[in-house]
Structure 1
Amino acid sequence: MGWLTYAMAMPPALVVVLRILSAILPPHQARLASFGAFFVTSMLTMLACAAYGVVASIALRCVGYGGLSQWTVARAFKWSMWVLTGVTFRIQDSGKIVGGKRGGLEALQERPAVIVGNHQTELDVLMLGCVFPRYTSVTAKKSLKWVPFLGWFMSLSKTVFIDRANRTTARAAFDGAANTMRTERQNVFIFPEGTRSYASEPELLPFKKGAFHLAIQAQVPVIPVVVANYNNVLDVKNKNFSSGVIDVSVLPAIPTKGLTAADADALTTRTRDAMMDELIRLSHVSGPGNGVPLPRASGVDRSSDELRKRT
């Protein structure tokens, strides 16, 4: 058991050493040490929460509440990361009302729904931990299914695994997800960009249409979640990290009742345009603006008093 004890003690010890180095080294080396400490801490926390998730998922399935598995683990990850790294995400209401429906926490109460969000870095896993409503599952690439602990937890907690190389099995997975959404009122969270952007300013990659086909197939609304650009908190390319609170805006649900597969393109464009508009607004509310002017079409007054709210 001695080697096992040493093996388990080494990663936390490494974090302590890196944090000490970040306090005493010159700026460039200190920045790299701080980034390393954040990276190791995040991986250890995710592993611990995934292990907890395996046990929690089995227990919740046994008592008929398997749909809560990912929400339970998400909240555990949220609070663990806040304590250990000083990073968290907070939901704000954009003030926008569409069809009599508001955004913010009120929008996340709608169920079932397809929830879509912009995908910046690996830190978006923490965003899910902070934003995830009850009875929600994620989609993930099929290869994650075989990762120890994380894959086990995801398999037990109704994750929709997608084989991106095989269109037939991917479609079958979405068919199963649509059926689960209708029968169990389970939400699905999807990153429509399909990959991380690592954006240094407010921008979105082109959207894939799978999420919108799923929403139309299940006849459930699309709820856009927009995360402010957080390059100032985590810059993966330049290995830079600093603690902070990142704003998240939840837009009003976009209905799909009566839409058909032929409407998927228009729904994709409508959602992406609304998210891009809000992403630019958030950059002015949450940061220096990144040099991006507010779009005229947004209807947002340029004065600072009006940036925080829409009507």
Structure 2
Amino acid sequence: MWLLTALSYFTTFLAGIAALIAALYVVSFAIPKAAFFARLIAFYFSILVTCTFILPVCLIFRLVGQGGSGQWAGGRLFRYLVQITMGISFEIQDPHGVLDKVRPAVLIGNHQAEFDLIMLGTIFPRNCSVTAKASLKKVPFLGWFMLLTKAIFIERANSKNARATMKKAGDQMATMRQSVYVFPEGTRSYTKDPVLLPFKKGGFHLAVEAGAPIVPCVVANYSHLIWLKEFVLRPGKIPVKVLEPIPTKGLTAADVDDLARKTRDLMLDELVHLTAEAQGKVHAPLPGSKKTK
């Protein structure tokens, strides 16, 4: 009985948020700024709805032997909710069909803001997850979700044995043929310009240990659509370019610095030009960019 009561309250709560979003969109015809708050609330509303329904879906996937598809399924649900409630979408350009053909792989992407969650929901192929610190296994709901979806857990606290930790994670990737998505910048850049923060090396060590290729995924700078500091949150399409895989077979830890540098250079070049296309501008090459188109 208490479960039905709780479900009734929660359903009413969700309906109330949905009504608030709709009301703000109506008000935006007279007060344009109201649309910003409507889309911002819609973003977190979509996260809440996705989290509510994805755990039982992931459990079903796991029971039928498809646990690695859980994050793919949750991401797609989130992506469609956001398209409906916010009008924002990420358009994947994968000319070589890498996302469908290459597995396992370490997908490396630039990280601009929390709205990259929408991008992950769009780009995640089946049998792909994120890396996470091992302690998250014990966190209710989040830990359960990650266990069900075969997340790659890393003992980050064990810095004295980092190589062994990466080898274990790499073996898990190879055994399960599980790809992972990594943000090597380590934090959100929150920048208006097409730039990259320095890369951390963890994802590259993981790729070398697993013998998996690096797949660079470049997201155009989307500050023209999303810039919270100035209350900008507009509908639109944001391009994401999947570059050709960079092989790691035969590489060792000694090669990681060069591998990270090469990947970052390729991504920065593409970021400058992809952003120019997305924003309809011509960007001069930024410091550190190799191309001079």
> Which stretch shows the higher mean deviation, 7-16 or 213-222?
7-16
Alignment of 1:121-140 (within 5 A): 121-140=113-132
Query: Following the alignment from structure 2 to structure 1, what is the Cα–Cα distance between the partners of residues 143 and 81?
Result: 20
> Which stretch shows the higher mean deviation, 218-227 or 148-157?
148-157
Q: Give the conservation status (yes or no) of the 8 Å contact 1:139–1:189.
A: yes
1:285 corresponds in structure 2 to 277
> Which stretch shows the higher mean deviation, 70-79 or 266-275?
70-79
Alignment of 1:154-173 (within 5 A): 154-162=146-154, 166-168=158-160
**Cα offset for 1:163?**
6.1
1:306 corresponds in structure 2 to none
Query: Following the alignment from structure 1 to structure 2, what is the Cα–Cα distance between the partners of residues 37 and 155?
Result: 33
2:177 corresponds in structure 1 to 185
Query: Following the alignment from structure 2 to structure 1, what is the Cα–Cα distance between the partners of residues 53 and 283?
Result: 42
2:291 corresponds in structure 1 to 298
SS at match of 1:237: helix
Q: Give the conservation status (yes or no) of the 8 Å contact 1:51–1:150.
A: no
**Cα offset for 1:66?**
1.1
Q: Give the conservation status (yes or no) of the 8 Å contact 1:138–1:190.
A: yes
**Cα offset for 1:186?**
0.9
Q: Give the conservation status (yes or no) of the 8 Å contact 1:45–1:80.
A: yes
2:84 corresponds in structure 1 to 83
Alignment of 1:212-291 (within 5 A): 212-289=204-281
Query: Following the alignment from structure 2 to structure 1, what is the Cα–Cα distance between the partners of residues 57 and 160?
Result: 32
> Which stretch shows the higher mean deviation, 224-233 or 159-168?
159-168
TM-score under structure 1 normalisation?
Answer: 0.82
**Cα offset for 1:171?**
5.7
**What amino acid is the match of 1:184?**
M
1:114 corresponds in structure 2 to 106
**Cα offset for 1:12?**
4.0
**What amino acid is the match of 2:290?**
A
Verify: 1:153 aligned to 2:156, yes or no: no
SS at match of 2:113: coil
Alignment of 1:61-76 (within 5 A): 61-76=62-77
Query: Following the alignment from structure 1 to structure 2, what is the Cα–Cα distance between the partners of residues 267 and 39?
Result: 38
Query: Following the alignment from structure 1 to structure 2, what is the Cα–Cα distance between the partners of residues 277 and 214?
Result: 24
Aligned residues: 288
Query: Following the alignment from structure 1 to structure 2, what is the Cα–Cα distance between the partners of residues 24 and 132?
Result: 35
Alignment of 1:97-112 (within 5 A): 104-106=96-98, 108-112=100-104
Q: Give the conservation status (yes or no) of the 8 Å contact 1:162–1:169.
A: no
Query: Following the alignment from structure 1 to structure 2, what is the Cα–Cα distance between the partners of residues 188 and 293?
Result: 33
Runs of at least 5 residues in structure 1 that lack an aligned partner in the other structure? 94-102, 301-311
Runs of at least 5 residues in structure 2 that lack an aligned partner in the other structure? none
**What amino acid is the match of 1:58?**
L
Change (3 A) 1:169 1:259: closer
Percent of residue pairs identical: 43
**Cα offset for 1:244?**
0.9
Deviations 1:137-184 (Å, cap 9, x if unpaired)? 112456765665444322321123456555358766533321122112
**What amino acid is the match of 1:61?**
R
**Cα offset for 1:203?**
1.0
SS at match of 1:137: strand
Q: Give the conservation status (yes or no) of the 8 Å contact 1:67–1:186.
A: yes
Change (3 A) 1:67 1:10: closer
**Cα offset for 1:4?**
6.3
Deviations 1:272-298 (Å, cap 9, x if unpaired)? 000000000101111133x63146832
**Cα offset for 1:108?**
4.7
Verify: 1:57 aligned to 2:58, yes or no: yes
Query: Following the alignment from structure 1 to structure 2, what is the Cα–Cα distance between the partners of residues 200 and 23?
Result: 30
Q: Give the conservation status (yes or no) of the 8 Å contact 2:55–2:145.
A: yes
**What amino acid is the match of 1:81?**
V
Query: Following the alignment from structure 1 to structure 2, what is the Cα–Cα distance between the partners of residues 239 and 170?
Result: 42
Query: Following the alignment from structure 1 to structure 2, what is the Cα–Cα distance between the partners of residues 74 and 169?
Result: 33
Query: Following the alignment from structure 2 to structure 1, what is the Cα–Cα distance between the partners of residues 225 and 109?
Result: 18
Deviations 1:76-129 (Å, cap 9, x if unpaired)? 212222122211111125xxxxxxxxx553355211111110011111111011
